[in-house]
Structure 1
């Protein structure tokens, strides 16, 4: 089974072509095996390239622990470059089917080489039923909780997957503090946790604890959710540069929804024995 390994500002993935859906029954088992950094290739997730009846191409992602998120911002940028370079799509604009629905892609090209990927991520949702939250909660905005003796204000939105934002301008929390928050009973299915340092209205720093993967160098959906939430709270503008441990993304809030722009880079290719 041939593979290509790519990364989106440090968030790394193994790509395998599965146009005929032959790996469906074993996809979680395969992901756990190949993503292991000691006994496998090593990655944050496995991405399968599949055909689609409704879009130009389909992306399926499985986390390193075998769980299946609906969406991953860094993965879809890498995916978009891969399918363009391999000829699975024609032209610099195309659609991708994901677990979170259709995503529209626009590639930045220089001499036919992909230099960046702009993804329409849709609108964020704060609705309890979308995230989902436990019964009795309408939304989580400036929601006060006590975690391990620390008073924390939580803000949660869905951008493909649930994301909770904690403003941490004083660098009070290490990223792995997120493991104490992601499974709070207020979240029916857990939540990714993003720690934010606001530099100014056009620039923030984000550290993400990703459910199913732990601390990560970058999270595209987390960057989108962070900007959307902070904009709602009045802290940032509609066009924000987001610095993550692995690199930078540009997030733009427009009337129709959120746009994310960033790179997708190749690492290596080979064959899984």
Structure 2
């Protein structure tokens, strides 16, 4: 039996999506997920998601990293699964769904290719030297970096992700350069173990860290450029707590096909 899949991307962060509303999600073979996400021997993706039914929400999101393991919250994945739910006819212009870090609300454009996803509130930001560390649904390390375009993100990010402080649990490592009109961000993602074209929880963490760094408060809108395109972050910040957080950006179907049964 073949299973139909859909490939989506959000600012270059790409995912395999599978409709699993026909029944409960069974145990998933991590090696199969890893193979499907492999860019040479599989479909190729930064992660894989199953959309399942939930009695209290429009749907539930189950996210697996490219290494085959269950992942923490993926922001761009969340935006893509909302677009997928609209394609399936499960939602129209709004969604309330459940992810690993709790409930999420989202708005989606009429053409289904732009999604504003509400993220969790954040209260705690710590420091690691001059870098900021916080959790926006996934753990993130945020460091400012000059000449980011030419910076070796892979080597530097891997070194931080696997240092003595973060090796056990892992952390996503973000580098940011303030360009004036926008922030330029590049991210090394755990689970993918490489630089990705975008990271939704990552750019959210970066926008918060930079607001704290600049001592900004009020309703803050941040334009962010990543390797895969443009993303916008909005939130309210009173100097202690980030609330009404939205990750806004594209979510587009790339192609669809079939794979052998999982």
TM superposition score normalised by structure 2: 0.88
**Structure 1 residue 194, shift from structure 2 partner:** 0.3
Find 1:174's aligned residue among 138, 149, 152. 152
* Structure 1 residue ranges without an equivalent (≥5): 127-138, 145-152
Find 2:188's aligned residue among 209, 212, 217. 209
Match of 1:7, SS state, is: strand
Is 1:140 aligned to residue 122 of structure 2? no
Q: How big is the alpha-carbon RMSD for the aligned residues of Structure 1 and Structure 2?
A: 1.8
Match of 1:233, SS state, is: helix
Is 1:232 aligned to residue 212 of structure 2? yes
Separation in 1, partners of 2:215, 2:142: 13
CA contact (8 A) 1:124 1:257 kept: no
CA contact (8 A) 1:192 1:211 kept: yes
* Structure 2 residue ranges without an equivalent (≥5): 238-242
Separation in 2, partners of 1:234, 1:102: 30
CA contact (8 A) 2:113 2:252 kept: no
| Corresponding residue for residue 225 of structure 2 | 243
TM superposition score normalised by structure 1: 0.85
Between 1 and 2, higher relative CO (CA 8 Å, sep ≥ 6) is seen in: 2
**Structure 1 residue 31, shift from structure 2 partner:** 1.2
1:2-24 deviations in whole A, cap 9, x for unaligned?
Answer: 10111111111111111255553
Structure 2 matches for 1:100-115, cutoff 5 A? 100-109=101-110, 113-115=111-113
Is 1:186 aligned to residue 159 of structure 2? no
Q: CA, structure 1 residues 236+242, in 2 after alignment: closer, same or farther (shift >3 Å)?
A: farther
Is 1:220 aligned to residue 200 of structure 2? yes
The count of residues paired between Structure 1 and Structure 2 equals 247
Q: CA, structure 1 residues 21+230, in 2 after alignment: closer, same or farther (shift >3 Å)?
A: farther
Separation in 2, partners of 1:236, 1:217: 27
**Structure 1 residue 53, shift from structure 2 partner:** 2.5
**Structure 1 residue 72, shift from structure 2 partner:** 0.7
CA contact (8 A) 1:184 1:190 kept: no
CA contact (8 A) 1:208 1:219 kept: yes
Match of 1:70, SS state, is: coil
**Structure 1 residue 106, shift from structure 2 partner:** 0.8
| Corresponding residue for residue 176 of structure 2 | 196
**Structure 1 residue 254, shift from structure 2 partner:** 2.1
Is 1:34 aligned to residue 21 of structure 2? no
**Structure 1 residue 203, shift from structure 2 partner:** 1.1
**Structure 1 residue 168, shift from structure 2 partner:** 0.3
CA contact (8 A) 1:16 1:48 kept: yes
Q: CA, structure 1 residues 77+43, in 2 after alignment: closer, same or farther (shift >3 Å)?
A: same
| Corresponding residue for residue 240 of structure 2 | none
Find 1:258's aligned residue among 233, 245, 254. 245
